[in-house]
Amino acid sequence: MTRQTDDEVQKQIYNLILDPSTREWERQILVEAKDNANGLSPKNQLDQLKSELRPLALRHNLTPNVMDFYLTITGERQIDTHDKLIRHYQNDFSYQERAIFAGGCFWCMVEPFDQLPGIIAVISGYAGGSIDHPSYDEVSSQTTGYIESVEIIFDSRQITYQQLLQIYWSLIDPTDEFGQFDDRGENYKPVIFVVNDSQLSLAQNSKMGLIKSKRFKKPIVVEIREVIKFWPAENFHQDFYKKNVHRYRAIKRSRQIFLTLQHTKNAIRRVFKTRV
């Protein structure tokens, strides 16, 4: 490690210690690295820091700036979502629309839409609150009013908003207003955020169709709200299903088991009700 690189690393460590978004246990590790009480060489000091951060990084449990720092000092490759996030800030082109859905943890709401023809980008983020630039920790505190959501930018010539609504209903438990699956709390509740009157009408009709189908014994509790602002989440939350394949598959499997059991029970209930 050259002197210039060492100086840069020390500066990053110092800035992360001062960063208010750094968690206390992360800060403790960084402070110990900065103080270097054992008098380690720069290389050994950096190796020890990598070793201490690695278990947290593998569990995807580092805050965004610390995660970026870890990737920098290890040289590990992180999927770049810069181009995807640019899509959020661009003006919509002809035939381009946006749909915003909340259905529990946004990690599991990306892949089902991302693989479809006509989908331009699926961005994880936050909707429903009022403060600017909310962080993941702030949203998780359930004090901001924000809900984990996905913004789907799509070409309406290839896929319609009605089709996206049908997919959305298949991914969630529409009878659970206190979260979704293992994700509990206000920040995980299911909501359809609409961007215009057309989407409002289509979403209301879609919800009413689900109610009239009597597929569910319990009431359909999914809210339909006008979106005020959608804020993209931090980089390491984007494309989680690509970055953390094994963890994502485990979460996805758990959700699929729940939904399969729920649909089976509801189907059996309807059959017996019809016979009676």
The predicted pLDDT at position 2 comes to 40
Answer whether residue 118 shows pLDDT above 70.
yes
Per DSSP, 54 falls in state H
The predicted pLDDT at position 210 comes to 96
Average pLDDT over residues 83-91: 78
Between CA 119 and CA 124, with CA 121 as vertex, the angle to 5 degrees is 130
3-state class (DSSP) for residue 156: coil
All residues at 6 or more sequence positions from 31 whose CB lies less than 8 Å from its CB, including other chains? 17
211 and 88 co-located in one domain = yes
Answer whether residue 125 shows pLDDT above 90.
yes
Instruction: Provide the token pair at 76.
Output: 């590990």
Is the model more confident about 33 or about 5? Answer: 33
Percent of the chain with pLDDT over 90: 58
- CATH number for the domain spanning 238: value is 3.30.1060.10
Q: Residue 274 falls within a domain, yes or no?
A: no
Average pLDDT over residues 75-94: 74
86 and 166 co-located in one domain = yes
Nearest to 147 by CA among 131, 170, 129: 129
Pick the range with the lowest mean pLDDT from 53-62, 203-212, 237-246.
Answer: 53-62
All residues at 6 or more sequence positions from 69 whose CB lies less than 8 Å from its CB, including other chains? 12, 13, 16
Pick the range with the lowest mean pLDDT from 21-25, 102-106, 139-143.
Answer: 21-25
Whether this model's pTM surpasses 0.95: no
Pick the range with the lowest mean pLDDT from 38-52, 103-117, 177-191.
Answer: 38-52
Q: Residue 273 falls within a domain, yes or no?
A: no
Whether residue 147 contacts residue 188, with contact meaning beta carbons closer than 8 Å, is answered with: yes
- Chain CA centroid to CA 206, Å: 24
Q: Residue 88 falls within a domain, yes or no?
A: yes
Rg (CA), the chain: 22
Nearest-angstrom CA–CA distance, 55 and 59: 6
pLDDT band at residue 30 under the 50/70/90 scheme: very high
The predicted pLDDT at position 92 comes to 77
Average pLDDT over residues 254-258: 91
The predicted pLDDT at position 271 comes to 72
Is the model more confident about 88 or about 80? Answer: 88
The predicted pLDDT at position 273 comes to 67
The predicted pLDDT at position 234 comes to 84
Q: Which residues are catalytic?
A: 105
Average pLDDT over residues 230-244: 86
First to last CA, the chain: 77
Average pLDDT, the chain: 88
Per DSSP, 22 falls in state S
60 and 89 co-located in one domain = no
Is the model more confident about 250 or about 100? Answer: 100
pLDDT band at residue 189 under the 50/70/90 scheme: very high
Is the model more confident about 130 or about 58? Answer: 130
35 and 156 co-located in one domain = no
pLDDT band at residue 78 under the 50/70/90 scheme: low
The predicted pLDDT at position 106 comes to 96
pLDDT band at residue 196 under the 50/70/90 scheme: very high
pLDDT band at residue 59 under the 50/70/90 scheme: low
Domain, as residue range, for 171: 82-254
Number of domains in the chain: 2
Listed residues 74, 97, 116: the one ending a domain: 74
32 and 153 co-located in one domain = no
Average pLDDT over residues 176-198: 95
170 and 190 co-located in one domain = yes
